[in-house]
Copies of this chain bind each other. A is one copy, B any other.
Amino acid sequence: MSQERLTRRATVRDVAALAGVSPGTVSKALNNTGQISSTTRARIKAAATELDFRPNELARSVFGRRSFTVGVITTDSFERFSVPVMLGAEDALGAGRMSAFLCDSRDDPIRERHYIDVLLGRRVDGIIVTGRTSNPRPPIQVRDAVPVVYALTPSADSRDCSVVVDDESAGRLAGEHLLGLGRRRIGHVTGPVSFDAVRRRRTGLRTALADAGLALTGEPLHGSWTEAWGRQATQILLRSQPKLDGLYCGSDLIARGALDALRDSGRRVPADVAVTSTDNWSILVEGSRPPLTSVDMGLYDVGRVAARRLLEAIDGTPGSGVERVPCQLVVRASTEGADPW
């Protein structure tokens, strides 16, 4: 009973012909819209299956008001920070039957402009802009009424809708955790002070300490996001603060260096010094000696929330301002272990 194979894709017309109805009826039947007798509907659906018919989404988009696509632009080459954001976004978008276009602007304004134009040409329903840091960025220019949501990297224009990590809570969580373990001489080794995230985490940490009537032990040490800096800074800190019993590091890489320096100095972790880190990057925190307690920045959630905000904006209720998604502390042996490493 099989039809002759079509070399091209089947269209509504092919289905209509096979089912002995008109194209319009096929449309109604397959979209469960309008008034159709169930027998005709069944016949049409059978014909569609037979021909492996799949409606051309491009065509329906031309007609309709929406394309059910969005663009995701990153400046981060989808490296470790924007990847989870993007995945979270894709997850949430897929639930809304949206597909995501991938654009890697590499932090190049020319490329970014190009991608925006491409996306607008493809009539995306919205755009998510993501990046590498918490530092605000200039908003993208879209003359059209295409909704934009910034994820991870907020827009400098506070009227725009931005979804970011709650960096301050990261510092507070780390501080409260160390305090809860009875640590009282807590130091801080972190990244460049030019990073918003660095300053906010520092504030969070200080707030937690202040709430306990304490101050940071030693000055916060700012340097590069590297293991080498983690080692060096920790050595410096230990020299001036030999009785340090707690340490909050601004990244897992820095924390790895700190662990090395602590071991080299003959200190035990966590017995002598408890170490808490930031990023919870499994590859770094799970294999270290000891495994690292770390604040997970919830980047996947940032992506998910951003996508949800974008869908809302597309549906006509745009958000505004900066939304901060909570972090979560993941406890490992560097703060609660008993074993010797």
Contacts and interface: CB of A to CB of B under 8 A. Distances in A.
A256 B287 contact: yes
A12 to B, nearest CB: 13
Work out how many copies of this chain go into the complex: 2
B227 A121 contact: no
B123 A287 contact: no
6 contacts: A9-B123, A54-B121, A83-B83, A90-B103, A101-B102, A226-B287
A77 B100 CA distance: 14
Interface string A139-183: 000011000000000000000000000000000000000000000
Contacts of A9: 123, 144
Contacts of A67: 58
A305 interface: no
A228 interface: yes
A117 to B, nearest CB: 7
A64 to B, nearest CB: 10
A283 B282 CA distance: 13
Interface string A55-82: 1111101100001010010000111100
A41 to B, nearest CB: 20
Contact of A52 (B72, B122, B143): B143
Interface of A: 9, 52, 54-59, 61-62, 67, 69, 72, 77-80, 83, 86-87, 90-91, 99-104, 117-123, 143-144, 226-228, 253, 256-257, 260, 283-284, 286-289
Given A77-B87, A78-B83, A99-B119, 6 more contacts: A69-B122, A83-B83, A90-B103, A90-B104, A91-B104, A101-B101
Contacts of A286: 226
A58 B121 CA distance: 8
A226 to B, nearest CB: 6
A275 to B, nearest CB: 16
A57 B62 CA distance: 9
Contacts of A226: 286-287
B99 A99 contact: no
Residue of A54, A58, A91, A288 ringed by the most chain B CB atoms within 10 A:
A58
A90 to B, nearest CB: 6
A91 B106 CA distance: 11
B102 A118 contact: no
Contact of A62 (B56, B117, B121): B56
Contact of A283 (B72, B77, B284): B284
Contact of A78 (B78, B118, B143, B228): B78
A118 B104 contact: no
B123 A57 contact: yes
Contacts of A55: 121
